[in-house]
Chain A
Amino acid sequence: MGYPHSHDLETTTLLSRYIGDPEAKTLRGWSERRGYETLRKALEMSPEDITTIVKDSGLRGRGGAGFPTGLKWTFMPNDSGKPHYLCCNADESEPGAFKDREIMRWTPHLLIEGCMISARAIGAEHVYIYVRGEFFPVSRVLNEAVVEAYEAGYIGENIQGSGWSCDLTVHLGAGAYIAGEETGLMNSIQGNRAEPWMKPPFPAQSGVFGMPTTVNNVETLATVPMIVDNGSAWYRQWGTERSPGTKLWCCSGHLKRPGNYELELGIPLKDVIYDVCGGIPDDRGLRAVIPGGSSTAFLTADELDCSTTYEGLAEAGSALGTASPIVMDESTCLLRAMRRIAQFYAHESCGQCVQCREGTSWVTKILRRIEEGGGRMQDLDTLYELCEQLTGRTICVLADSVVFPLRSSLDKFRDEYEAHIKTNSCTAK
């Protein structure tokens, strides 16, 4: 597996401090790095106090949607009398994203510590870490860490003599993008096909096994310990009012230095591409970038001044998503790139909703026909019509996810589509 680049001046290494440090993987090494001290501290705090700190820190979910984490925790009932569950979403599968695997394979104990602190906050009795099945090298590291943490009494019965008990299980997925959707993930843990279910009921009322559940992303949970340790004001010294803190970036595509970088939220997208990642190989021009993973809208070279915050990228007409810019240089055929993205969603649609199952597949077929020289001008209207039909009509947002890149590419790169249709040529250089 890849190795992170050496830290640049622009990076702020809070979460990624020990990424690349082989000693940090073991319990011994982790303990020497103040490991599990925050868990011990949290065991002396009330669950409400932990939740309040995280809520005040403004930490937003790092899985893509950006929902405030502390607020999500407050949705868990106080007196249901039912078992509570925490599911850690480690099904990292958004094309463009490759950050959670770095956290897990370099600092597995950080994730476990974050899981246990968060489990305490929501009163969970069992944590499931749902790791995508393909991540064998990651799950091997994580498994070892889990066993070590059990043996050292950081998981299990009467944790560190606190009287509080909580189990943790590593659950492997088996190759389904849709298992990264929270209800699909819970269905998969229950032994079903990873088909999302309608909300409401929300997971906090009826989640995995019908019990109150919180689902958080790996990066979110791994950020919790430092916030609980240092306080919410400390965390807010980075980022903006509405997007505090730092974020692990996953930069891919045509870049001189692709890879993972931890950056303070709010620096211009342009700087991420040109300073942090060194720009485009051979200094070719930039044609397009998808800033937040494949389910976010395309931005053009003229739109890179936006700030890399949840609100900044939303204003620019796209989304921060998983902070995974996919950069395409001027030689990229955007029609092909879009077809490749659509093909992914067609493959990964779970098939429950007709609009998604049929729509994603038709988008792919139409794009492929245009690519092969058989396009007609009315195909563009049909694609827009499909965008309408795929938006907001399905159980989950997989269908909407293909619309963001599709509609934006039709709006912004219409010349590309027309060139293919009219003259079977491409506008890429």
Chain B
Amino acid sequence: MSRDLHPAVAGAQAFQRAEREHIEGPIFETAEGRDRLGKILTRYPVKRGALLPLLHFVQEKKGWISADDMVEVAAVLDLTPACVRSVATFYTMYNKHPVGRHLVQVCTCISCHLHDGEAVLERFLQETGTREGETSEDGKFTVIEAECLGACGFATAVQVNDEYYENVTPETVPEIVEELRNR
């Protein structure tokens, strides 16, 4: 599929899927990795412009970005590992640790706060049996508090991997968790 990817959108394929394949080891030596790297590099006048898209690609394939991955990204872009690390750790969406199969992000920012966002977060933690930022024992859930997800009119907003759930209330949480657990 990626062979047909248009270069204009090759760097914008980021997604976190529940059924993602876990690739180990160097990623830019795979056919898909080389293809994606080549396409992304054509879109920026300097190599470094490809840094964010490449980090997204690593996360798309591996679910998170390890120190080794950062070293590899640095090598393909002629940057230092420290430089890549400084960027990867600046942005909250890059997972620097493995996360559960479902990364649940509950917005508690102002509009969601007015609609009990904190109670929704509490309920997610309760239903999944985790503490914030930790992964449940079965590896299925990581629940975190998120700053504004940009869905303020449909509070409380919750993002699970690459999907949005809106108008979530503490009462609807068990149903969502149950559905995710069975996927």
Residues of A within 8 A of B (CB): 1-2, 83, 92-98, 101, 131-137, 139, 142-143, 146-147, 150, 155, 167-177, 188-194, 209, 250-254, 258-260, 290, 294, 324, 326, 328, 332, 336-337, 340-341, 344, 347-348, 350
Contact = CB atoms under 8 A, between A and B. Distances in A.
Nearest to B14: A172
A174 B44 CA distance: 18
A122 B109 CA distance: 37
A285 to B, nearest CB: 15
B50 to A, nearest CB: 7
Contacts of B113: 336-337, 340
Question: What is the interface residue range for chain B against chain A?
Answer: 35 or more
- B51, B86, B164, B167: most-surrounded residue (chain A CB, <10 A): B164
A94 B152 CA distance: 10
Interface string B85-119: 01100111110000000000000111101100000
Given A136-B163, A193-B87, 9 more contacts: A83-B45, A95-B110, A134-B150, A136-B162, A147-B8, A171-B12, A174-B55, A253-B114, A258-B153
Contacts of A136: 14-16, 162-163
Contacts of A347: 147
A170 B10 CA distance: 8
Nearest to A132: B150
B149 to A, nearest CB: 6
B9 to A, nearest CB: 4
B114 A209 contact: no
Nearest to B15: A136
Interface in B43-60: 43-46, 48-53, 55-56
A118 B64 CA distance: 37
Contacts of B56: 133, 172, 174
A98 B164 CA distance: 13
A107 B166 CA distance: 21
Interface in B8-29: 8-9, 11-16
28 contacts: A95-B148, A136-B16, A142-B12, A143-B9, A143-B13, A146-B6, A147-B8, A169-B8, A169-B11, A170-B8, A172-B53, A172-B56, A174-B52, A190-B48, A191-B44, A191-B50, A191-B51, A191-B52, A191-B77, A192-B48, A193-B91, A209-B46, A250-B152, A251-B153, A253-B114, A326-B110, A328-B114, A344-B110
